[in-house]
Structure 1
């Protein structure tokens, strides 16, 4: 499973889930704000999506300022758990396994959520800098897929390309992202539960 973040038009992003074995794409949430693609990760089983987002609109929800880290069910952005961030210096995420998430956080002592995490789910703060907590963190597995902006390899080593807004495998267009326009829809009830 892979996540596709389609950015644009201006200040919009869309999350889609790509089943790389079957080459099927499931459309998900539209978001009016910024999702930092280098701050996202997927659980190894492909069900959870952790992301770092900002929204500078004056609109404040869930006691969140303008930046936050959240966990949702792929391909939705409905937060199952949310951690407010005070700035964009941290917030990036890395799944270690299906039940362990590391969040980069310069203010690690403030890394708290009001949301209930499932039994056995662990979140560790990480910050490499002054005042960093001295703790032994679990090892983050190396990415099994790669992408350089125009072509890449999925987890199985199969090649794909991205051209003119289209995700292509061989000669087949897997998904055409170029014609998508923002159309926010509510997430299904299944996206609201762990």
Structure 2
């Protein structure tokens, strides 16, 4: 039987004080590609591939877009990094300038507090392999809100830092919960992000997955279940659907432009690339 093929999964980290962003592309499931995105030029460039998993909801990018922090797992449990690790790297590369071995998939990752300072989601502990004078770990900081030790703890705090308002959280059943965030956009549009924490999720999705809705000032709701990532800025919405990044413009309080294709990430193939440092 032929194995079912799914579109590339996409997640985007956008620097708050520059036009730089990182696209984390997963697919096939055991391969991850990281790309730079210059939003001003709308240009994309592959940095490096990982034969393993990057936990995109535990990642963050510094305000200037110069550095990023990520948690990854390749399952090589006898290696120096113990099969999983947290790294701080020059964006958008994977090569670490500070590296912490983990050895399991509890906790890991972190958040940037400013361009040179980060918080490590330490949990049960990391083993520092090397650090850098270019970035400093803040050991006393704790995120304002607590959402467990793994993906949601970093992701939900990052969303709120980026202007999303947490509106509601509810249990839908055993191992199935839903948390709703909203962000106000221009022309009185509202972007709603529905975050699922679910075992037995739909095919092609992980245990953490998002869908979206658009609401206008008249109360009309436009369901966007296939938008796996979305963010609003510059009187537009950028969203990921089917392994492709699109942009729609908010033209008035009840009118949207047709989607503009920004980039199709589906046909990328693994290649070995070295960081330039």
CA deviation after TM superposition for structure 1 residue 12, in Å: 0.1
CA deviation after TM superposition for structure 1 residue 39, in Å: 0.9
Q: 1:165 aligns with which of 225, 233, 243?
A: 243
1:6-62 CA-partner distances (Å, limit 9, x unpaired): 1011300001122233322222110001100111000010011100001114562xx
SS of residue matched to 1:80: strand
Q: 1:76 aligns with which of 86, 93, 101?
A: 93
**Gap regions ≥5 residues in structure 1:** 130-138, 190-194
Give TM-score scaled by structure 1 length: 0.77
List structure 1 runs of 4+ shifted beyond 6 angstroms. Answer: none
Question: Does 1:94 pair with 2:182?
Answer: no
Question: Which residue of the partner structure matches residue 103 of structure 1?
Answer: 120
Contact 1:144–1:154 (Cα < 8 Å) also in 2: no
Relative distance call for 1:144 and 1:182 in structure 2 (3 A) is: farther
Q: For residues 54 and 139 of structure 2, what CA distance do their matches in structure 1 show?
A: 21
SS of residue matched to 1:175: strand
Contact 1:92–1:104 (Cα < 8 Å) also in 2: yes
Question: Which residue of the partner structure matches residue 115 of structure 1?
Answer: 130
SS of residue matched to 2:238: strand
**Gap regions ≥5 residues in structure 2:** 1-19, 148-156, 165-182, 184-192, 194-209, 212-226, 249-258
Give the total of aligned pairs.
Answer: 176
Relative distance call for 1:155 and 1:172 in structure 2 (3 A) is: closer
Contact 1:25–1:174 (Cα < 8 Å) also in 2: no
Relative distance call for 1:155 and 1:20 in structure 2 (3 A) is: farther
Q: 1:13 aligns with which of 20, 26, 32?
A: 32
Higher strand content, 1 or 2: 2
SS of residue matched to 2:162: coil
Greater C-alpha Rg: 2
CA deviation after TM superposition for structure 1 residue 84, in Å: 0.9
SS of residue matched to 1:14: strand
Question: Which residue of the partner structure matches residue 178 of structure 1?
Answer: 266
SS of residue matched to 1:10: coil
The RMSD of aligned alpha carbons is: 2.9
